[in-house]
Structure 1
Amino acid sequence: MKALHFLVAILFINTLSAQNFTGKAIYKTSRKSTISFGKNQPGITDKMQEELKKRMQKMNQKTFILEFDKTTSTYKEDVKLDNPNPMAARSGVMVMSFGGSGSTDVYYKNIKDQTFSNKTQIMGKPFLVKDKLELYNWELSSETKNIGMYTCYKASYTKEVENISFSMVNGESKEAKTKETVTTTAWYTTQIPISNGPKDYQGLPGLILEINDGKSLIVCTEIELNPEKEIKISEPEKGKIVSKKKFIKIQKKKNDEMMEKMKSRKGVELGNGIQIKMGG
């Protein structure tokens, strides 16, 4: 297997140095919701719970665009405005989204320098998270499958992660933290010889077309190489500059504040144009 890894790496380097191209890849994402309410909650009927779950599931199904050249890329959501849902309002459960958290994010990667800049926000406050890219300990496999017209190879890595789930019990929000070992599986193609992929994923000898960590799935549905319309990739500049570690600390503080608000209300303003209300 080590010989296979070495051969793939050499072929990747030779192919990449011989080509100079740009491209655009479209990814569809979906994620399992961790929100639950339990049974017989005051003011929350089964119908209301079902409606809210459907709305949250829809919010977790998104489309993203990766624009790339040999060494840099930007990854951002392809935002479309949803039509108002009058049924949601009449059911007593209302989830309103105007762009939504993350809809204006731009994730910039510089593969050559192994750095990233993520333009994002927390409850409307802009941040620019700048740090080193994560080094994934990928294990390459000879297993293959086709995604569209591309032959893809399997790679995976395993790590321990902390999961945070939210629930509503007797009108109060509850937060539960658990740790588990998660295996993330990637499928990449050496037919597009760039060490890149969706979100912060990278480090394989070809473009990553699919990522699955058991809870979220990202699948490439369309690729356009060397498009007629010129692709210009630039690093985002606006926002308070913080490290990844600092941003996670700020994010946790804001989440804790939000949970405190939910304990004393039937609803909460999440920021970024998102509001959840339960009851009449």
Structure 2
Amino acid sequence: MITTILKSATLLLFFLVSLPLTAQDFQAKAYYMSKTSIDMDNFGRPGMSEEQKKQIAERMKSMLEKTYVLNFNKTESNYKEEEKLEAPGQGQGARFRGIMSSFTGGNQYKNIKEKAFLQDQELFGKQFLIKDSLPQINWVMGSETKQIGQYMCFKATATIPDTNFDFTRFRRRSQHTTPQQDSTQTKEPETNNSEKLIQVEAWYTLQIPISQGPGEYWGLPGLILEVSAGRTTVLCSKIVINPSEKVVINKPSKGKEVTKLEYQEILEKKMKELRENFRGRGRGGRRG
């Protein structure tokens, strides 16, 4: 009985705090930090030393730490990476970052009322416009809570398809793998990223009762402030409610229009070409 009363009081408090957000002209900005780790045991060429792996990991660390801004109102949002100034003498790093940018999401637009999703995506100089419906996420909401900044957050979990780029797929196949090993009963058929499933843990706040979040995440009764999926964690660092300067929600419109699945197929083809190129260079190097 006491627990029920406390829960009701908590929900009432969130409701009272959230009343200003019900204004028709509500708009806000949320800033997020994203960090991604790489399993170095499955990355790079066979025989790479631990010291070499460590050097590569340090070099890639800054490339895998990004900041984003989510501009949103009651129905729409725009999620975009903040651009970084390139430090002097980082030519090689800039080239590698350019390759990586082709495998990371561009400007993303969500409309939760129309269930619409748009993404501006460049792939090795070619512009695409990914146009699809918002992915339906079957959240399981729990009672666990934690504080993120000034906001009380609730935990939710889900299992979703993994559409993120996997760097380990550039790893060359082991020379010790034989056709017989490849044809064992435990062999799994090759699939694209969209067919892999990952566990997602999200933390949302009822103090901002807007069903938005970073990237493609949405569908909870409050703004998602933190989300972990696979090796990536995204955490909100600051929220500005109804800023003095009007929030602009850009809607991507340029590029060849494709669905998410069609783009994944194009990406898989490009990845295959890159792997073949890397293998060809390796064979050429051994001959020399």
Q: TM-score band, normalised by the shorter chain?
A: 0.7 to 0.9
Q: How far apart, CA to CA, are the structure 2 residues paired with 1:129 and 1:160?
A: 17
Query: For 1:54, what is the secondary structure of its paired residue?
Result: helix
* Structure-1 residue corresponding to 2:178: none
Could you say what the CA RMSD is over the residues aligned between the two structures, in angstroms? 3.5
CA apart distance, 1:265: 1.7
CA apart distance, 1:76: 0.6
CA shift in 2, pair 1:110/1:157, >3 Å: same
State the TM-score, normalizing by the size of structure 1: 0.77
Amino acid at match of 2:227: I
* Structure-2 residue corresponding to 1:69: 73
* Structure-1 residue corresponding to 2:30: 25
Choose the corresponding residue for 1:236, options 252, 260, 266. Answer: 252
Native 8 Å contact 2:131 2:257 kept in 1: yes
Unpaired stretches in structure 2, ≥5 consecutive residues: 1-6, 176-187, 283-288
Native 8 Å contact 1:37 1:169 kept in 2: no
The structure richer in helix per residue is 2
- 1:60-104: CA deviation from partner (whole Å, max 9, x where unpaired): 111011001110011010111231457x97xxx996435950678
* Structure-1 residue corresponding to 2:3: none
**Max radius of gyration: which structure?**
2
CA apart distance, 1:39: 8.4
- Count of residue pairs the alignment pairs up: 250
Unpaired stretches in structure 1, ≥5 consecutive residues: 267-280
Native 8 Å contact 1:76 1:107 kept in 2: yes
CA apart distance, 1:243: 0.8
* Structure-2 residue corresponding to 1:201: 217
Choose the corresponding residue for 1:182, options 174, 195, 198. Answer: 198
Q: How far apart, CA to CA, are the structure 1 residues paired with 2:65 and 2:27?
A: 27
Q: How far apart, CA to CA, are the structure 2 residues paired with 1:233 and 1:146?
A: 28
Query: For 1:218, what is the secondary structure of its paired residue?
Result: strand
Does 2:156 align with 1:152?
A: no
State the TM-score, normalizing by the size of structure 2: 0.75
Of all paired residues, the percent bearing the same amino acid is 37
* Structure-2 residue corresponding to 1:263: 279
The structure richer in strand per residue is 1
* Structure-1 residue corresponding to 2:234: 218
Q: How far apart, CA to CA, are the structure 2 residues paired with 1:162 and 1:235?
A: 22
